[in-house]
Each structure stands twice: as C-alpha cells, then as structure tokens.
Amino acid sequence: MFEKKVKDTEKKLDKGTKNKGKIAAKERAVLIIKTVAIPLVLASVVVLALYLAMQSKFEADSLKGDVLVMKEKVTANTIVTKENADKYFTTVSVELTAIPSTAYTSVSELPDKFYIENVMAKNQMVMKDDISKSDPVMDKYKRGYEVTSFAAESFDYSVNGSLRHGDVVDVYAVDPATETLTLMTENVYVDEVYDNSGNRITDDEGVATSFTVWVTPEEVESINTAVVYGGIQMYLKTE
C-alpha cells in the first residue's frame, strides 16, 4: 500500500512538472510574440502613416500646376528677349483652379522677343494679353533710334512731373512765331526721368523735371526744335 502511495505521488509530481513545462512554454511563446509581433505592428503603423502622408502629398501636388509670374514690378512697353527673360519672370506652383487658361506656365512658352504691354506688379501672373510680339508704337524703334535728353517744367493738364520709365507721350512746344502750342512729335518713348537734383526716379514719389527719351532719326529734328522753342509739354498716350 505504501508503494502505491509512492507511485501516486510520483505520478502527481510528473503531472505537475509537465504542467509547469507547458506553462513555461506558453509564457515563452507569449514573450516571443510580444518581442517580435509588437514591433512589427508598430512598424506597420509607421509605414501606413508614411504611405498616407505621401499619398496625401501626391494628391495635393496633383491639384497644383506651374504658372509664370513677375519677379519684380515692371513698367509697360518694356522690351524683353529670351536671353534676359529670367531677369523678369519666375515659375511658381499654385492651385490648378487658380490658373486661368490664358496664363503662361513657363519661360519656354514666351516669344524670342516681345514687349510687356501692361504695367506688371511683383508676383503677378503673366497672361497672354500682357505679352505682345509687336506694338504699333514701339515697333518704329526697330529701325533704329537715338537717345536724347531735355528738361521740361510742369504745366496744367500736362503730365511732365509724373512721367516714368516706359511711358509713351506726345511732345508739344509753343511755337514762338504763332504763340500756339504745337505738336512736335508723337508716340515718344520715355526711357528715364530725373528730379531737380539729377537723381533718377524709379518709384511713384518725386517730380520729374528732366527726361531721357528715344527718338527715331526722323524725329530728331522735331525734338531739337521743341527744345529750342522751350516750354515743352508732354501728354501721356493712353492707348
């Protein structure tokens, strides 16, 4: 009977040892899962987040397009060539819905030589009607021109003092023989303007008193005559 109890006890011990072994194996399995699976899950979450972020960026970028804008403010009638276009223009990315169908998208779309028809502000989009390959006023200078300067006082209704680079004017002077205001030359391009101190005016402030203009060979005599007459008055061309 004693032998039977010993055997029963041994069986219970063996069973307990096996149970403990099974428990230890389960614990090791759980530990392995925690050690391997959790980092994998976290890595998957990170990868998913990166994917969603990249997908979102891709979708946002797909809704944008390039458009050509001005680097700085530019006056009307400025002559530009492909060689110096980078001085005036740059490309930016904006929402596609904000890009008009008439907007330029890159410098490569511009003509080889052209005029900026309108006064352009910094960062302003460049439209097809802002650029022209020909101009009824400016084209006359393609045959050549001279640069001349003269002083001119301000008069009622004239715009002498407010003229700026890029303006186009008609030049009048008082004929001493008839004492009447006479048109001497029309469609004259104003290249630079200066104040009383001889400083070049580049902004809207200041009163211009001296002017540098372009004149064709045929216009030189008329401008010289106007200077001799004195009292030059200039009137801005609006078209």
Mean pLDDT of 157-173: 87
Give per-residue pLDDT as tens, 44-72.
666 666 766 666 555 555 678 999 999 99
pLDDT at 98: 87
Q: Are residues 30 and 7 in the same domain?
A: yes
pTM for the complete prediction? 0.64
Q: Are residues 87 and 125 in the same domain?
A: yes
Full residue range of the structural domain in which residue 230 is found = 138-236
Give the lowest-confidence range in 6-10, 171-175, 183-187, 221-225. 6-10
Question: What are 216's two structure tokens?
Answer: 């064709």
Q: Are residues 49 and 109 in the same domain?
A: no
Out of 41, 62, 83, pick the residue that ends a domain: 62
Q: Are residues 68 and 50 in the same domain?
A: no
CB neighbour list of residue 199: distance below 8 Å, 6 or more residues apart:
206
Q: Are residues 123 and 146 in the same domain?
A: no
Instruction: Examine the pLDDT at 5 and tell me if it is beyond 60.
Output: no
**What is the spatial distance between Cα 190 and Cα 167, in angstroms, rounded to a whole number?**
5
Give per-residue pLDDT as tens, 193-215.
999 999 999 888 888 999 999 99
Q: Are residues 173 and 83 in the same domain?
A: no
Tally the domains of the chain.
3
**What is the spatial distance between Cα 123 and Cα 107, in angstroms, rounded to a whole number?**
15
Out of 22, 42, 62, pick the residue that ends a domain: 62
Mean pLDDT of 19-39: 59
Give per-residue pLDDT as tens, 126-154.
999 999 988 888 899 888 899 999 998 87
**What is the spatial distance between Cα 180 and Cα 145, in angstroms, rounded to a whole number?**
28
CB neighbour list of residue 172: distance below 8 Å, 6 or more residues apart:
158, 181, 182, 183, 184, 226, 232, 233, 234, 235
